Amino acid sequence: MSSNKEIWVFGDYRNYFQNRVTLQILARAVDLASVTGGEVCAVVFGDGTDEYAKEYIAHGAQKVYVMDDPRLASYSIETFSWLMTWLSKKFTPETLLVGATRFGQEMAPRVAKKLGTGLTADCIDLEINDKKQLVQIAPSFGGNLVAKIITPETRPQMATVRPGTFHELTHDYEAKGEIISFDLPENLPEDQIQLLTSEYKPSKKKKIEDADIVICGGRGMGSKGKFKKLFELAKIMNAEVGATRPVVYSEWADHETLVGQAGKNIKPKILFSFGVSGAIQHTAALTDARFIIAVNKNPNATMMKMADVAVVADANQACLGIIKAIKENIRD
């Protein structure tokens, strides 16, 4: 299948200040394009998007394809996936990357299906191989394994990437890029879905993604009651609690706390990890943790091997011990 060398990134600007994923992916696209010799392009649909288009240029996009129209004022899966497909058919990009916001996760599969191409979810890294193919690196089910995936025949090569996986470039005020605008195609189908009400309610709680200390608990904490102690520890340490998936499934902690492929990426100065084995779906989200203190009764657990300090102990006992030590030694 013929395609040009463009690498496209979906411009997901909604919730702009919290949602940096588009800028993060653009940064990676710049690296990829330096290997393929292609151009980095952002694609924006909306109403009054000029600011965003410029922001994407300042963050690495050489071109921005824009459809700006009052009818695109609110995000619509049907319309956006139809437009993305329409543009992709017209320009045949080599690669199309989408941030794994809820919206992106719903839109990308529809676009991939319409274009008859593959899509890899939640890549933890992207590379270019010697055939200039996009290598999509993602956690694989079963043990501590990572898979390299390619899309050998169909184009574009598509992947979604979680927020926090890559690092955005600094804003470059000098950057130059081309903004290419289109009118809405006449034959855009009518939406079958109507947005009746929409209320923006960012959670007031401090976000685990931004916390300086995260206290992460796994199944090794033993029970819901014992897990609760981690919240006490978090409180006195000014920290946020994170959890592994079995913990969330067992309802010891709620879904907001989930750290990993299915949850959040974190970047604390210190991560305390209690009773966590260190499965790749969890540890993929810890690559930006600066200093890791792991507690596990099994010294060979992966989490212990990747820690800076590996404490061989019962997780619950250690948690109680640390609470006591801090309470006794804190200077107010």
Partner 1 sequence: MLNIIVCIKQVPMVSELPWDSKTGTLKRELAHGMMDPASRCALEAALQIKESQGAHICAITMGPLMAEEILHQAKALGADEGVLLTDRRMAGADTFITSHILASYIKEYCSNFNLVLCGSQTSDSETAQVGPQLAEELSIPSICYAGHVDFKNTHVEVQRHVDDFFELLKMNLPGLISIDLSSYKARYLALEGVQNAFENPDIRIVDAKKLNLGKNFSALADSPTRIIDVYSPTTQKENRVLKGAVKKVVDQLFKEYGKEISSAMGKDLKTHKHDGGA
Handedness of CA 106, 108, 110, 111 (dihedral sign): positive
Whichever of 57 and 258 has its CB closer to partner 1, that residue is: 258
Whichever of 108 and 315 has its CB closer to ligand FAD, that residue is: 315
The only residue of 24, 62, 117, 257 in contact with partner 1, by rule CB under 8 A:
117
Residue from 184, 160, 170, 144 nearest 283 by CA: 144
Whichever of 121 and 239 has its CB closer to ligand FAD, that residue is: 121
Binding mask 284-313 for partner 1 (x = CB under 8 A): -------x-x--x-xxxxxxxxxxxxxxxx
Which one of ligand FAD, partner 1, none is in contact with 14 (Cβ closer than 5 to 8 A by kind)? Answer: partner 1
Which one of partner 1, ligand FAD, none is in contact with 175 (Cβ closer than 5 to 8 A by kind)? Answer: none
Token pair for residue 198? 């929409």
Could you say which DSSP state residue 210 is in?
G
Q: Are 110 and 123 in contact (CB under 8 A)?
A: no
Whichever of 32 and 259 has its CB closer to ligand FAD, that residue is: 259
Which one of ligand FAD, partner 1, none is in contact with 237 (Cβ closer than 5 to 8 A by kind)? Answer: partner 1
Q: Is 246 in the site for partner 1 (CB under 8 A)?
A: yes
CA-to-CA separations, 84 to 120, 153, 174, 281, in angstroms, rounded: 17, 20, 29, 30
Binding mask 133-172 for partner 1 (x = CB under 8 A): --xx---xxxxxxxxxxxxxxx------------------
Residue partners of 85: CB distance under 8 A and separation at least 6: 111, 114, 115
Which one of partner 1, ligand FAD, none is in contact with 244 (Cβ closer than 5 to 8 A by kind)? Answer: ligand FAD
Residue from 140, 137, 141, 142 nearest 162 by CA: 137
Positions touching ligand FAD (CB under 6 A) are: 141, 218-220, 222, 244-247, 258-263, 275-277, 279, 281-282, 296-298, 301, 314-315
Q: Are 274 and 252 in contact (CB under 8 A)?
A: no
55-114 binders of partner 1 (CB under 8 A):
77-78, 101-103, 105-110, 112-114
Q: Is 218 in the site for partner 1 (CB under 8 A)?
A: no
10-49 binders of partner 1 (CB under 8 A):
14-15, 18-19
Biggest CA–CA distance in the chain, Å, is 71
State the minimum distance, in angstroms, from the CB of residue 36 to ligand FAD: 29
d(CA 174, CA 113): 38
d(CA 96, CA 100): 13
